[in-house]
Structure 1
Amino acid sequence: MRHVVVMAGTGTVGLMAVFLVDFLNLFYISRLGNSHYTAAIGFANAIGFLQMGICIGMSIGAVVITARLIGSGQPERAKKMVTSFIIFTTFLMIIIGLLVAIFNREILYLLGARGAVLNQASHFVMIVSPFLFLIALGMVLSGLLRAVGDAKRSMNVTIIGAFIAGILDPIFILVFNLGLEGAAISTICSRLGVALLGFYSLKRYELIEQPHWDDIFSDSFKVLKISFPAILTNLATPVGGLFVIHTMSNFNSDAISGQTAIDRMIPVAFAFVFALTGSVGPIISQNFGAGLRERMQETLVVSLKLVCLCVFCAWGIFYIGQDLFVKMFALKAEGEALMRLFCNWVIINNLFLGMLFVSNTAFNNLGYPLLATFFNWGRATLGTIPFVIYGASYGPQGVLIGQSLGVVPFGIMAVCCTFYLMKTIRMDKPI
């Protein structure tokens, strides 16, 4: 319990800092009092969340391989693979970022953005997307620090991004009156800070060496065998979110603003749950490499207990503070109704979402990433689309309720499958 809490606690602060950048952007943009701006940042962040899913998947592969090799006493092999994968990640993310920037208007139009909202969102994505590789590097480097057990420095790497955004957002958005352009510039600066501090912090562990150029693709392919299914798994959540924001676009800017505010608050409010899934991964992986089955099972049980504690604490806080949250984002009409519904009842669905995420982490670290992909995509498709379509007939609140109900069966099934896997898995699987 102590090990999990320490790793997840420091990871919470770090991960909260990553999501706090988007949260601060939305908060200061909402101070301008224009629902079109708020809706535009919602559409832009939907694309950003999709890109972040790829970054998280890449970092998962690096963390799993590094922790498992260290746990099995192969640090030199870990160093070689880490170096190759960092180079591969940089080039891949540059390509993805540029492609999204080039085709951003087409993507935003498919999501339902129109008119002034489309123009504003497009301008934001055009500026930010080419620098996707910076946050990808920052997340991989932060994950590697967790893999070697340095939770504090891993936390500091991501904190610097929120610190920079917290300083620059009000200056660029409110003082210089740059609006969404100011938020974009602040985001780029925060990502640069995360990447630079990540390299500096990892330097002491000598996990990066002179690259073996001939082995970059072969080394990266071994990591990608874990990263690619993890990417598919992590893309499921933002893809489901894209369908929700597209459905909300059928109503009005107030509804989109309310959904955007909720989407930005969830990662910050439940940063502990998300950090828990990232932090227990190295613990499970190292114990798997060391052949300690009971320690793996104990880690899973502790994680589920902490998920329950976090969700019920957050429920109480949101129920009490709902008036504050409505005023914080200047929500009106449908947007206010959505926020109050979330704070009163819908927030509890994060219990099952946490169960699903913890299970996915176990699947990835035990060498069964396709199970994580199956459960996450099942939730994003069968657990989202029919529920949201039916809920939409009752208005924006029906969409929110439908989205929350679909996760319940998949969270329960994933946990049951994880317990069975830990009980039956071979402990001598090759890396």
Structure 2
Amino acid sequence: MEQNSNMGTEKISKLMLRLSLPTIIAQVINVLYNIVDRMYVGHIPEVGANALTGLGVSAPLILIVSAFSMFVGGGGAPLAAIALGKNDKEEAEKILGTGTVILIILSIALTIGVFIFKEPLLYLFGASDVTFPYANEYTTIYLLGTLFVQFALGLNLFITCQGKTKIAMFSVLIGAITNIILDPILIYGFNMGVRGAAIATVFSQALSAAFVVAFLVSNKSIIRIRFKYLKLNAQYAIKTLSLGVSSFTMQVTESAILIVFNNGLLKYGGDIYVGTMTIMQSVMQLLTIPIQGLIQGTQPIVSYNYGAGKYDRLKETMKLSLKITVGATAGYYVLVFFFPHLFARIFTSEADLLNLVAKILPIFMGGMWLFGVQMTSQMFFVGTGQAGKSLFIALLRKVILLIPMAIILPNFFGVMGVFYSEPIADLISASTSGFLLFYSLKKLKNLS
């Protein structure tokens, strides 16, 4: 327990660096699953643009599948960290056991349900007759690995919550490196195209999942998956899902946004604009994913010290986290503003698509410079078990602001209205989240 208890004593800046650096690396590596697929697929001769758009159409389904892993991991891991802060290892293991059972149930339900409704869903998500074959091919194979995705993503957070971020990073590293190696071999070497990208992804996720499970049943893990706790404990299931609903909502509403975006872009602009969104979402991931890594590495510190009643350390953690996240998001936006072509070339070499992305990207990401405030606020409320506020923040940007604007604004500005909705929603939600965070930290001052 020594490494875990250090979260209550070690210098905050040193502790954040030690815990967050591996999770940042892990998150960057993890995003390569989709981004590397898009990079290789987008450069397939003759069909690259349509194939890339097909992957973009399948993205909402993939996000929905992975969102359910966050339902469990995003809620269970902070609860387990809080229990460890109270030195209650048994409760933490019961939470882990319940979460594992829920993930298995969700995997079976998702695989069957999505297979039944896959074709109408893909058309609903913005597929055209031209791009549907590519989206269908990728999604069909990806769904076969649903259980691997749930374990690789959902259970990995139970490793992070122990402070063992290097182990969590390694589990992601195994899969990502495998995917990077297999992608060009299967896509180009065996001429499998989109199908090769999907097979590489599923196989890579299977390796990651196997590593995560192997660690959590070993004596190297502070909390272990034990057979006696592999049961659907109603008390812990309700607590886990109640807290995890905000993390789930953050990701599943991302899927809803892509659906609205893709349909609006297809209606007002055509397939090339759907392809543009696929690239811009990938560029945005290059920003948000490292920040999410910092957030994941910092959250166990917040949860532990909140559970231990060490509010001064908690507040110090939050102040440092805000400085880093806002600085990173602002700096990244400067790069995007001045060098949009550089980011677009990562995913395509087709002139029309390249120029369109370079024109719209600085507008689309116009509010991202302040996005670190929202991500840090979300982490604080999840980490301290405040499910209501974390859910509100999750809903505010995407459901209350972004989706309605993406539907309404195109009526006035055409296809550009879809793109304008993003920066407006980002700025309003980040400002609101910052106010709620400031107010909550001020309340903690009276408890110190």
Counterpart AA for 1:3: L
Report deviation, 1:51. 2.3
Which residue is 1:12 aligned to?
Answer: 24
User: Residue 26 of structure 1 aligns with which residue?
Assistant: 38
User: How well do the aligned residues superpose, as a CA RMSD in angstroms?
Assistant: 2.3
Secondary structure at the residue paired with 1:126? helix
Residue ranges of structure 1 left out of the alignment (5+ in a row): none
The match for 1:40 among 32, 54, 65 is 54
Instruction: Tell me if the contact between 2:333 and 2:368 (Cα under 8 Å) persists in the aligned partners.
Output: no
Shift of 1:236: 2.4
Of 350-359 and 332-341, deviating more is: 332-341
Provide closer, same or farther for how the CA distance between residues 22 and 191 of structure 1 changes in structure 2, counting only shifts above 3 A. Answer: same
- Alpha-carbon shift at residue 214 of structure 1 (Å): 5.4
Give the deviation of 1:42 after TM superposition. 0.4
1:304 is paired with a residue whose SS is: helix
Deviation at 1:6, TM superposition (A): 2.9
Cα separation, partners in 2 of 1:214 and 1:99, compared to 1, 3 Å: closer
Matches for 1:123-138 after TM superposition, within 5 Å:
123-138=137-152
Q: Note the alpha carbon deviations across 1:252-293, whole angstroms, 9 max, x for none.
A: 222111110111222233322111222222111101101011
Deviation at 1:24? 0.7
Report the CA distance shift for 1:26/1:267 in structure 2 as closer, same or farther (over 3 A): same
Q: Structure 1 stretch 324-333 or stretch 57-66: which is displaced more?
A: 324-333
Q: Per-residue displacement from partner, 1:374-406 (whole Å, max 9, x unpaired)?
A: 222121133213432454343444422322221
- Is residue 227 from structure 1 mapped to residue 275 from structure 2 by the alignment? no
* Closer/same/farther in 2, CA of residues 211 and 265 from structure 1, 3 Å limit: farther
Match of 1:356 in 2: 374
Q: 1:377 and 1:337, CA in 2 relative to 1: closer, same or farther beyond 3 A?
A: farther
Q: How does 1:332-371 map to 2 (within 5 A)?
A: 332=350, 335-341=353-359, 343-371=361-389
What one-letter code is carried by the residue in structure 2 that aligns with 1:263? Q
1: CA distance, partners of 2:402 / 2:443: 31
Q: Deviations over 1:283-306 (max 9, x none)?
A: 111011010112222211111111
Distance of 2:355 and 2:105 partners within structure 1: 44
> Is the CA contact 2:58–2:125 (under 8 Å) kept in the aligned structure 1?
no
Distance (Å, rounded) in 2 between the aligned partners of 1:71 and 1:262: 40
Q: What does residue 236 of structure 1 align with? A: 253
Q: Could you tell me how far 1:211 is from its partner in structure 2?
A: 2.8
Alpha-carbon shift at residue 215 of structure 1 (Å): 5.2
| Residue aligning to 1:272 | 290
Shift, 1:187, TM fit: 1.0
Structure 1 partner of 2:263: 246
Contact 1:355 1:411 in 2 (8 A): yes
Q: Structure 1 residues 7, 348: CA separation in 2 closer, same or farther (over 3 Å shift)? A: farther
Corresponding residue number in structure 2 for 1:413: 432
Aligned to 2:316: 298
Structure 2 alignment gaps of length 5 or more = 1-12
Q: 1:92: Cα distance to partner?
A: 1.3
Q: Which residue of 1 aligns with 2:328?
A: 310
Among 261, 266, 284, the residue aligned to 2:279: 261
Q: Which amino acid aligns with 1:423?
A: K
Distance 2:319 2:258 in 1: 29
1:66-100 per-position Cα deviation (integer Å, ceiling 9, x unaligned): 10010111012212221222122122122113311
Q: What's the CA shift for 1:425?
A: 5.6
TM-score (norm 1): 0.92
Query: Which amino acid in 2 is paired with 1:23?
Result: I
Shift in CA distance, 195/375, structure 1 to aligned 2, threshold 3 Å: same
Question: C-alpha offsets along residues 404-429 of structure 1, whole Å, 9 cap, x if unaligned?
Answer: 2212111111121122123326999x
What amino acid does structure 1 have at the position aligned with 2:20?
Answer: A
Give the corresponding residue for 1:282: 300
Paired with 1:331 and 1:118, the residues of 2 have a C-alpha distance of 22
* 1:427 to 1:78, Cα distance in 2 relative to 1, 3 A: farther
Q: Which amino acid aligns with 1:61?
A: G
Aligned-pair identity (%)? 19
Query: Is the CA contact 1:124–1:181 (under 8 Å) kept in the aligned structure 2?
Result: yes
For the Cα contact (< 8 Å) 1:248–1:396, is it kept in 2? yes
Which one of the candidate residues 70, 75, 81 is aligned to 1:61?
75
State how far apart, in whole Å, the 1-side matches of 2:102 and 2:112 are.
16
Verify the 8 A CA contact 1:19 1:267 in the aligned structure 2.
Answer: yes
**What's the TM-score once normalised by structure 2's chain length?**
0.89
Whether contact under 8 Å (2:365, 2:422) holds in the other structure is no
CA distance in 2, matches of 1:421, 1:354: 17
Judge which range, 73-82 or 324-333, deviates more.
324-333
Q: How many residues align?
A: 428
Contact 2:280 2:361 in 1 (8 A): no
Give the Cα separation in 2 of the matches to 1:413 and 1:331.
Answer: 39
CA contact (8 A) 1:18 1:158 kept: yes
Residue 419 of structure 2 corresponds to which residue in structure 1?
400
Separation (CA, whole Å) in 2 of partners of 1:316 and 1:221:
43
**1:105-131 CA distances to partner (integer Å, 9 max, x unpaired)?**
111111221213122212211211232
1:150 matched to which residue of 2? 164
Please give the alpha-carbon distance, in whole angstroms, between the structure 1 residues aligned to 2:446 and 2:37.
Answer: 46
- The one-letter code of the counterpart of 1:274 is Q
Aligned partner of 1:424 in structure 2 is 443
Tell me whether 140-149 or 234-243 shows the greater mean CA deviation. 234-243
Out of 330, 347, 354, which is 1:329 matched to? 347
CA–CA distance in 2 between the matches of 1:5 and 1:409?
30
